[in-house]
Structure 1
Amino acid sequence: MPFLGIGFHVIVALFFAVHVVRNNQNMYWLFILFAFPLLGSVVYFFAIYLPEMRHSRGARVASRAVTQLIDPNRAVREARNDFDRAPTVQHRLRLGEALLEAGDAKEARQHFEQAATGPFAGDPAVLLGLARAQFATGDAALAKGTLDTLFEAHRVTRQQPEPTLLYARALAATNAPNTRAAFEQALTCANDAAARCLFGEWLLAQNNDADKQRAQALFEEILRDAKYWTRYAKDHNREWLQRAAAAQSSSR
């Protein structure tokens, strides 16, 4: 049994030693880990590994997921408290974003509309937030108009993933003739699978063979690329993976 215990300590020390090398930590950690496997591993875990994990993207995502499960209203509550203490535009936008994430688009829209009447009316965060809230409350035409204003005032946003995809969705919801071009533009800016999946679903609804073939190609591309994604990317795109798989199966 002592042998097994010593072996486990060494395995843990080896794990942290690999972390030292891969993350360019000071080499003296290797001496500490192998000279004192148990104590050195404990010290390294609390001094280096744990703080780094807390600030990693994966840890932040996991932390948000756990927080959402345990206390789903926390983000809204904290944002509302900050806004009540200091009703600044920044705090209003944060509250609006939290409300949108929580599914309360109606109240979120009220905050974005209020922000859009003041000196920050032309701010890109205000305009994008307002467009998101308008779309979420069923006013796709108003969302399109808000995004037109955003694109005119801040031309760089025409190359950004979220506003370009939202614009395509707003056009699709209003059956606008330039919907296809808007989705094509969204594809060139996309940083996840959402644009491909939503474009594919729109193409399927056009009810012609050429569009159905293009849709199938987009869905197949998502599913093929997913084989090489990191765990974080798969988690981030879970909804689009499921929708792509479902759409591909149903259209065959």
Structure 2
Amino acid sequence: MSPLILLSLALQIACCVHVVRTGRPLYWVFILLVFSFIAVIVYFIAEILPDLRHNPSARRTVRNVRNRIDPDRDRRDAAKLLKAADTPENRRRLAEESLRSGDYAHASELYEQALKGLYATDPDLMLGLAKAQFGLGASQKARATLDALIAANPSFRSADGHLLYARTVEDTGDATAAIHEYEAVVQGYPGEEARARFGLLLRRAGEDGRARNVFQEILDRSDAAPRYYRREQQDWIELAKRELAALAR
């Protein structure tokens, strides 16, 4: 049988399964089976594509694929916008894209330029600056920026910001204070990175029993979590497994 026919059959069957599982009108099954490739294309455009546009996970997947193909696209677009109109929003966007791409020096420069006037204590900009400073290895500066953020915006809450603060405290050599920060951040952090880093810190501090409990908690939480969560947290789950194995030796 021709590979093209096999591909057509596979796509038709996949679309028919999608029809049944998602509760689409069953007339789609007839259309898909009769009209082959054309029906598959029409079904994708009419039924699947709209869902992808409104599904955060699907959008994230599409964005990740696009970034792998052209990782600097968003950054170039942001640079063009800033060149056309030097506004605080456009400067923030380019700073975020520079941060995402690992150009911490440029991101730091842009955030510092943006933190003026009405935006001098903007918490999102200050957090971005702290991330850029930490990326440059300037943990003390990042900690000072986060301290200033907290002082200027006492009601501001950010799980990523809290984790970053714990990491800056850890990097500046204050293990006792870092443990205290991690104890707080793991309570509400949406993922396993904070726990994994906390466990590593406890191991370095010689608290192997507590570290073992933290790593085991990662595995227990992931076992009870949906598959997509385990997939997203795979790196931290694998780290917990390796650390538990090392602790058992």
The two structures have a TM-score, normalised by structure 2, of 0.83
Q: Which amino acid aligns with 1:105?
A: Y
After TM superposition, the structure 1 stretch with the greater mean CA deviation from structure 2, 190-199 or 224-233, is: 224-233
Q: Do the aligned partners of residues 199 and 129 (structure 1) sit closer, same or farther apart at CA in structure 2, a change above 3 Å counting? A: same
Distance 1:64 1:206 in 2: 39
**Map of 1:19 onto structure 2:** 22
**Map of 2:173 onto structure 1:** 175
**Map of 2:222 onto structure 1:** 226
Residues 8-31 of structure 1 show CA distances to partners (whole Å, capped at 9, x for unaligned) of: 96774353133126xxxxxxx34x
Residues 213-246 of structure 1 show CA distances to partners (whole Å, capped at 9, x for unaligned) of: 1111111221232234344323432332232223
CA RMSD for the aligned pairs? 2.7
Counterparts of 1:1-252 in structure 2, within 5 Å, are 12-20=15-23, 29-30=25-26, 32-33=27-28, 36=31, 38=33, 43-158=42-157, 160-176=158-174, 177-207=176-206, 211-252=207-248
Residues 106-154 of structure 1 show CA distances to partners (whole Å, capped at 9, x for unaligned) of: 1111111111233201111111101111111111112112112222232
After TM superposition, the structure 1 stretch with the greater mean CA deviation from structure 2, 165-174 or 42-51, is: 42-51
Query: Is 1:53–1:59's contact at 8 Å kept on the other side of the alignment?
Result: yes
Distance 1:136 1:203 in 2: 23
Q: Which amino acid aligns with 1:167?
A: Y
User: Percent identity, aligned pairs only?
Assistant: 32
Q: Which amino acid aligns with 1:226?
A: S
Distance 1:196 1:220 in 2: 10
Q: Which amino acid aligns with 1:247?
A: E
The two structures have a TM-score, normalised by structure 1, of 0.83
Query: Is 1:140–1:173's contact at 8 Å kept on the other side of the alignment?
Result: yes
Distance 2:134 2:13 in 1: 56
Q: Do the aligned partners of residues 107 and 41 (structure 1) sit closer, same or farther apart at CA in structure 2, a change above 3 Å counting? A: closer
Q: Which amino acid aligns with 1:58?
A: S
Distance 1:235 1:98 in 2: 25
Distance 1:19 1:129 in 2: 40
Task: Flag structure 1 segments of 5+ consecutive residues without an equivalent.
Answer: 22-28
Distance 1:18 1:218 in 2: 39
Count of residue pairs the alignment pairs up: 238
